[in-house]
Structure 1
Amino acid sequence: MTTLAGINELFPQPEAAPRQANSVEDMGSEAFLTLMVAQLKNQDPTKPLDNMDFMGQLAQFGTVSGIQELNTGFGGLASALTGSQALQAANLVGRDVVTEGNVGLLRPVEGTAEEGDDPALALDATVAFTGNATSATLFIQDMSGRLVYSAALPPGVSSDFRVQWDGRDGSGAQLEAGQYRVSVEALVGGVSTTVPVYAHQRVESVAIAAGTGDVALNLANGQTVGMNTIKSIL
């Protein structure tokens, strides 16, 4: 009596398809060149490899390899730039910078205190005139919006103009140190306009954000700002 074949013999399973070779993107330069040489040696002499196909494979490999090299290069460049920016920022500690905002800090002026006396106070800012101002007025407000001081600026100013307030109100009384808002109204070309004002701030320390590597400056007024917000260094 004939023995029945097993299910695998009666219904043979198709052979597993051979694993596809790595794509060009997965190859290193040595493996790619070895494959190309073998392809040239074993090609059918009656049907040689088409030049365009050959150039296409080279271009594909060159593109992938080039992108990998660019990624590596840009990674190194980014690290170098972050390091350079951190060193530059570290050199700013203890110096004043011109910031985007018009809220300045009235603070003690170093070296002005005599024995038994409090040091003089000062708030510095830059007024960015963009046209010839026939007249201009400086206004100082506390953080509640109350006007504490005003004064006329010299006429005819047409460029950046530095102002310094000693912290005294209109009656000459000394106000407390802290933050104050600075603004300027000017008459330019016969038109009343608000002139941009940029407060000066002291850099207290430098911070580097974890993950992003962004460099930030910690200012004396408690703000933390990016290097790209600094208009100039004093």
Structure 2
Amino acid sequence: MTTVTNNTTSSPWTVDSGTAFTNRNLAQTSDGSNQTIDMSGFLKLMTTQLQHQDPFAPMDNNQMVAQMAQFTSLSSMAESNKLLGNIADSVGSARLSDAANWIGKSMLVKSNIATPDRTGAYAGELTLGKDASNVQVDLVDADGNVVKSLDLGAQKAGAVGFFWDGTNEAGDFIGGEALKVEVRGATPTQTATWASIAAVQSPASGTSAQLITALGNYSPADALRLG
């Protein structure tokens, strides 16, 4: 007859109830993010810790107060960051609203490319470093052909504007495309053209609003003048 012996000796790896409770708390704590715990969760964690502390080595009161003060400080910092973020969003929205008021207007930007406005006219401005006796501006198409030549004559140093309504001598409209600005008789220190603002774009990155024109996208700070 075979005798079955029941071994009631506990395993050396048996986990007592206190250790098991602590392990469960650790597992639950690791599942949550330390960045998302609030004051209520912190107090609950501390209360649990007090309930299961070693009666022969209780938690130091000074340490507990220090932990509470540290958590309060971190909580205040998080609220401050949130407030600053809300302020930044508000300011960004206000800037976008201001830029939206520019739609339909024209802005003078540094460029040697001229595009027609809503009426089909081309306009720009040269900055001369010194006086010139015979200044001419050629508007050239993509194939290198001079579409229009503007004789500005003698000009003093400084800002010199130019304008073309987009028509030829017969009154026929011949513009409509982007034209390169080439200057003869002077070497301008800066060439700028007027561009119509068609729309305003707000980048997802949160950077400043962009003004959309036929010349490309510009920030409001790129405008030399608004007209």
TM-score under structure 2 length normalisation: 0.63
Q: In the TM superposition, what is the alpha-carbon distance from 1:104 to its structure 2 partner?
A: 1.7
Instruction: Rate the CA distance shift 1:173–1:182 in 2: closer, same or farther, 3 A.
Output: farther
Q: In the TM superposition, what is the alpha-carbon distance from 1:2 to its structure 2 partner?
A: 8.1
Could you tell me how far apart the structure 1 residues matched to 2:11 and 2:118 are? 98
Could you tell me how far apart the structure 2 residues matched to 1:94 and 1:26 are? 47
Instruction: Rate the CA distance shift 1:194–1:72 in 2: closer, same or farther, 3 A.
Output: same
Q: In the TM superposition, what is the alpha-carbon distance from 1:27 to its structure 2 partner?
A: 4.6
- Please give the per-residue CA displacement for 1:171-224, whole angstroms capped at 9, x wherever unaligned: x4656122212244675xxxxx44322211222333445x446634343x3x55
1:230 aligns with 2:223: yes
- Please give the per-residue CA displacement for 1:35-72, whole angstroms capped at 9, x wherever unaligned: 6xx99xxxx9xx8748xx94x9745752x334422431
Note if contact 1:137-1:150 (Cα within 8 Å) is conserved in structure 2. yes
- Please give the per-residue CA displacement for 1:106-143, whole angstroms capped at 9, x wherever unaligned: 3564xxxxxxxxxxx521112244x3x12144332123
Could you tell me how far apart the structure 2 residues matched to 1:108 and 1:90 are? 18
- Please give the per-residue CA displacement for 1:152-180, whole angstroms capped at 9, x wherever unaligned: 4543222x4332123366xx465612221
Structure with more of its chain in helix, by fraction: 2
> Which blocks of at least 5 consecutive residues in structure 2 are unaligned?
51-56
Could you tell me how far apart the structure 2 residues matched to 1:106 and 1:10 are? 89
Could you tell me how far apart the structure 2 residues matched to 1:107 and 1:10 are? 89
Name the SS of the counterpart of 1:199 in structure 2: strand
Instruction: Rate the CA distance shift 1:5–1:58 in 2: closer, same or farther, 3 A.
Output: same
1:91 aligns with 2:91: no
Residue number in structure 1 paired with 2:144: 145
Name the SS of the counterpart of 1:144 in structure 2: coil
Could you tell me how far apart the structure 1 residues matched to 2:198 and 2:140 are? 25
Name the SS of the counterpart of 1:196 in structure 2: strand
- What letter matches 2:200 in structure 1? V
- What letter matches 1:81 in structure 2? V
Query: Alignment partner for residue 104 of structure 1, among 111, 114, 119?
Result: 114
Could you tell me how far apart the structure 2 residues matched to 1:105 and 1:125 are? 10
Between the aligned residues of both structures, percent identity stands at: 15
Note if contact 1:217-1:226 (Cα within 8 Å) is conserved in structure 2. yes
- RMSD between superposed Cα atoms in Å: 4.2
Name the SS of the counterpart of 1:99 in structure 2: strand
Instruction: Rate the CA distance shift 1:13–1:5 in 2: closer, same or farther, 3 A.
Output: same
Larger deviation, residues 24-33 vs 8-17: 24-33
Note if contact 1:127-1:196 (Cα within 8 Å) is conserved in structure 2. yes
1:205 aligns with 2:177: no
